[in-house]
Amino acid sequence: MCGRFALSMPHAETARIFAASPANDLPDVPNWNVCPTNQIPCVISASGSRRLGAMRWGFVPRWYGSPNDGPLLINARAETVATKPAFRDACRSRRCLIPATGFYEWTKDADGKRLPWYFHPVGAELLAFAGIWQGWGPDRIPTCAIVSTAAGPTMAEVHHREPVTLAPEDWPLWLGEDGTGAAALMTAAPEGRMARHRVSTKVNSNRASGADLIDPLLEDASD
């Protein structure tokens, strides 16, 4: 799964990488501790062009009476995203890319203390999460979720799920620009796409901030 991530790149550079036009409502960056319900940048494709705009991280099904009317849907499982009523229409026609510098996941020590790890791309400036989105309510507030899948080799020692990350050559297919077949992309990252290191437990708080959140934890340092 993915419950926290970081995005440090300026929006103009992110827009350039994704060949998208940036909107004026994008949230502030850098943000080293992006949390559920935050506004996050997302790339969509419509009418032959890509747009980088803000969405609420937390998919809101159309039947919710308010954004808090049911479970907070920050992830959508690859195994059921095409059939689950909350997600199936979005999976078919409203897919997006969610840029990230990296993301966090946790293990636990013998005492149950949560130990955070930071995952980041190898040989690339950004990760692109596979996402789905939906406009909710009369104002069509854009909301989104990150697609997750069973963990691959890099993630499995830390967690049994991971966010689906897409290589640049797969972005057009996921965005619906290259026809059908996007379901084949909902797999774990190939070995070598991501690296990981332990970071301070400061990031366990959703109020923590600062670039030091992703600094590697030294072996002789205390959490």
Token readout for 115 is 């130990």
DSSP 218: P
Nearest to 96 by CA among 28, 146, 150, 161: 146
Helix (H, G, I), strand (E, B) or coil at 165: strand
Instruction: Say if domain 5-214 classifies as CATH 3.90.1680.10.
Output: yes
Using one digit for the tens of pLDDT, what is the confidence trace for 60-94?
Answer: 999 999 999 999 999 999 999 999 999 999 999 99
What DSSP element (H or E) covers 76?
strand 75-77
Name the average pLDDT for the chain: 95
| Contact between 207 and 196 (Cβ < 8 Å) | no
Range 111-137 average pLDDT:
95
The reported pLDDT for the residue numbered 46 is: 92
Contacts 24+ apart (CB under 8 A), 180-186: 182/95, 183/82, 185/130, 186/78, 186/81, 186/130, 186/147, 186/149
> Model confidence at 221, in pLDDT bands (50, 70, 90)?
low
Helix (H, G, I), strand (E, B) or coil at 84: coil
Using one digit for the tens of pLDDT, what is the confidence trace for 31-50?
Answer: 999 999 999 999 999 988 99
Nearest to 115 by CA among 196, 57, 49: 196
Q: What is the pTM of this model?
A: 0.96
Using one digit for the tens of pLDDT, what is the confidence trace for 150-200?
Answer: 999 889 999 999 999 999 999 999 999 998 999 999 999 999 999 999 999
Token readout for 96 is 């997006």
Nearest to 117 by CA among 194, 193, 197, 189: 197
